[in-house]
């Protein structure tokens, strides 16, 4: 029998208004029974499932706290040994599933609401029994799945501020981690009644305000694990002249063998969970409005034959008001085990930021960190004077055509690591110096292709900064790094200026400024930048473009990051290309 323990406490001393706390704990599942030794050995039984837990705190006029903890699944029983010698052994039992957890906090005419859901972790698989030849050993059971977690918060107040936070942890699974989902809505009316969604100020708790997918953590299983997905939606609205701050953060669960130092014993790598975060903040006056969305895909486990796939990440932030507004969306793709670039890759990352106001900024950033070394990153940031939208995306092994292309965008940045051969060929066709580099010796290869674009409108001047950044998964030795521009274009007559710079580890390598579109186009036509050898796994290279345009004017550019080991036979060709480039720089 499974039961829940319920605790409800009224705390009149802990806050200016009364507070109700409701906690519900699900009972753990029973452990499976091991099979008896014999001829044949007995099979182990499955572990029991953990009980679900649901907590609701909805007292009217009180600050409400709800916490739900799902029960743990029982471990599967082990298979009995084959006895005497030569007898077959029994199979192990399956682990039980973790219990689900649902926490709901509803506040009306009070200032604080918090819901926290901890899903139950799954039971481990029972191990198969041993046997001596010619007997057959028993098969291991399957690990259970982690429970799912849901935290829901709904808070409103007409006469004071409101703070709301939701946290959900998917249960750790023997095979599959549980999903986690957070949904938060908070609103106020009247002036100076601020709205805040996110961690509690001054009371730091680990991962408060996050949705975190459960990991798959049975290291003894040969079955690839699957991390749980994570979703966080947060909406904050102030109808009056009040500040609004909304944060939504989601972390996908990882396979158990994604941890540093974990052994690579499986043939196939596991899969990281996907992450989705959306933050929407709206204010009715000139007070500051801020929205932050962060999504990180879960890491995948390694495999001796085939690596796993990291989880995808999608983040969107939207901020609107009559004064200063700030929207920031960051998406980070999940990694494949330890050697992300050499063995598998990372999950796709996509971010979009939207803002409507009199001042402020929009930032969209997509990235993938290489564990133990550097990172790859695409970033698009614009100043806000009215309505602005930017987007950034990063993929592994995809096509340049996957770049953001919504006509509503004022800026976008895109980076593809390990690009398609067809896209590399198109870049070569547009840049003679790059084509000559590939035609020579030295075994050149394209590390990444990037593209950025700025699109002005009649709402006001566009100030846009785009960044394309690459890192390395190992020291590069004699490999030389080259950068090449391709498919550079300017449409419209509102070009103001472009500042181009290359930065290595925070140190400026070179910078060039243009206030004339023709001069800028001439400079980047067939441009090839030689940055030498000796790049280390800790090094980062950023290509930065700061653009100013007015009216319906657009500027776009592709950028190739290429490695090669030039041999003596190619020296004349490279020197010629660099001399031409030097002449262009002198004219600029």
Count the helix, strand and coil residues of the chain and give each as a percent rounded to the nearest 5. 10, 45, 45
What confidence tens digit (pLDDT) does each residue in 190-244 have? Answer: 999 999 999 987 766 789 999 999 988 765 566 677 899 999 999 999 999 999 9
Residue 264 pLDDT greater than 90, yes or no: no
Number of CB atoms found within 10 A of residue 371's CB: 15
What confidence tens digit (pLDDT) does each residue in 51-80 have? Answer: 999 999 999 888 999 999 999 999 999 999
pLDDT score for 519: 97
pLDDT score for 564: 86
Among 468, 538, 478, 477, CA closest to 503: 468
Contact present, 450 and 558 (Cβ < 8 Å)? yes
Among 448, 350, 459, 458, CA closest to 405: 350
pLDDT score for 2: 41
Kind and range of the H or E run holding 163: strand 162-169
Q: Quote the DSSP letter at residue 194.
A: -
Among 7-11, 135-139, 141-145, 543-547, the minimum mean pLDDT is found in 7-11
Residue labelled with tokens 């004699």:
478
Distance CA 115, CA 22 (A): 10
Residue labelled with tokens 């409400």:
64
Mean pLDDT for the stretch of residues 333-344: 54
Residue 474 pLDDT greater than 90, yes or no: no
Distance CA 150, CA 170 (A): 9
Helix/strand/coil for 326: strand
Question: What's the pLDDT band for 303 if we cut at 50, 70, 90?
Answer: low
The torsion region of residue 582 among left (phi > 0), alpha (psi -120 to 50) and beta comes to alpha
Mean pLDDT of the chain: 87
pLDDT score for 307: 62
What confidence tens digit (pLDDT) does each residue in 537-575 have? Answer: 888 999 999 999 999 999 999 999 999 875 544 433 333
Distance CA 404, CA 316 (A): 13
Distance CA 505, CA 472 (A): 12
For the ranges 299-313, 342-356, 439-453, 567-581, the one whose mean pLDDT is highest? 439-453
Among 38-47, 332-341, 422-431, 434-443, the minimum mean pLDDT is found in 332-341
Helix/strand/coil for 396: strand
Question: What's the pLDDT band for 373 if we cut at 50, 70, 90?
Answer: very low
Among 490, 487, 516, 514, CA closest to 500: 514
Q: What are phi and psi of 128, to 5 degrees?
A: -65, 150
Residue 170 pLDDT greater than 50, yes or no: yes
pLDDT score for 530: 93
């Amino acid at each position: 029998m499974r039961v829940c323990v319920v605790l409800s406490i009224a705390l009149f001393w802990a806050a200016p208004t009364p507070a109700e706390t409701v906690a519900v704990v699900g009972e753990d599942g029973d452990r499976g029974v091991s099979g008896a030794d014999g001829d044949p050995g007995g099979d182990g039984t499955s572990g029991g499932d953990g009980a679900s837990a649901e907590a609701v705190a909805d007292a009217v006029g009180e600050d409400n706290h709800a916490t739900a903890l799902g029960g743990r699944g029982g471990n599967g029983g082990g298979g009995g040994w084959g006895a005497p010698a030569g007898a077959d052994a029994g199979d192990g039992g399956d682990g039980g599933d973790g219990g689900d957890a649902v926490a709901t906090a509803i506040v009306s005419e009070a200032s604080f609401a918090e819901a926290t859901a901890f899903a139950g972790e799954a039971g481990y698989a029972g191990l198969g029994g041993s046997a001596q030849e010619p007997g057959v050993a028993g098969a291991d059971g399957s690990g259970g799945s982690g429970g799912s977690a849901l935290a829901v918060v709904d808070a409103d107040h007409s006469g004071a501020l409101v703070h709301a936070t939701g946290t959900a942890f998917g249960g750790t699974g023997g095979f599959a981690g549980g999903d986690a989902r957070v949904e938060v809505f908070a609103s106020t009316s009247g002036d100076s009644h601020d709205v805040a969604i996110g961690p509690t100020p001054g009371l730091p708790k680990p991962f408060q305000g996050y949705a975190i997918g459960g990991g798959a953590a049975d290291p003894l299983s040969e079955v690839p694990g699957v991390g749980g997905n994570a979703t966080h939606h947060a909406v904050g609205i102030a109808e009056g002249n009040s500040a609004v701050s909304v944060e939504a953060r989601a972390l996908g669960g990882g396979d158990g063998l994604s941890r540093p130092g974990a052994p690579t014993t499986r043939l196939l790598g596991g899969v990281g969970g996907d992450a989705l975060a959306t933050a929407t903040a709206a204010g009715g006056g000139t007070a500051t409005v801020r929205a932050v969305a962060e999504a990180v895909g879960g890491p995948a486990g390694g495999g001796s034959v085939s690596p796993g796939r990291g989880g995808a990440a999608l983040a969107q932030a939207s901020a609107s008001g009559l004064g200063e507004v700030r929207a920031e969306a960051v998406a980070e793709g999940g990694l494949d085990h330890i050697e992300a670039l050499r063995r598998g890759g990372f999950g796709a990352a996509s971010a979009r930021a939207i803002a409507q106001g009199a001042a402020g900024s929009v930032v969209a950033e997509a990235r993938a960190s290489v564990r133990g070394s550097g990172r790859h990153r695409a970033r698009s940031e614009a100043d806000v004077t009215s309505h602005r939208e930017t987007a950034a995306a990063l993929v592994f092994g995809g096509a340049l055509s996957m770049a953001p292309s919504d006509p509503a965008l004022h800026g976008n940045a895109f980076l593809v690591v390990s690009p398609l051969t067809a896209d590399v060929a198109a870049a070569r066709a547009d840049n003679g110096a790059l084509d000559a580099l590939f035609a020579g010796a030295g075994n050149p290869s394209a590390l990444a292709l990037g593209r950025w674009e700025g699109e002005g409108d009649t709402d006001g001047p566009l100030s846009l900064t785009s960044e394309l950044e690459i890192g390395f998964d190992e020291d590069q030795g004699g490999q030389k790094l080259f950068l090449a521009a391709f498919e550079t274009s300017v449409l419209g007559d509102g070009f103001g200026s472009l500042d181009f710079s290359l930065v290595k580890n925070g140190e400026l390598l070179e910078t060039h400024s243009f206030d004339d579109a023709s001069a800028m186009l001439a400079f980047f036509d067939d441009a090839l930048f030689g940055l030498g050898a000796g790049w280390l796994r800790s090094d980062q290279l950023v290509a930065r473009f700061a653009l100013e345009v007015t009216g319906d004017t657009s500027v776009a550019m592709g950028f190739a990051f290429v490695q090669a080991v030039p041999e003596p036979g190619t020296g004349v060709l490279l020197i010629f290309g660099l001399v031409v480039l030097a002449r262009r720089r002198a004219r600029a």
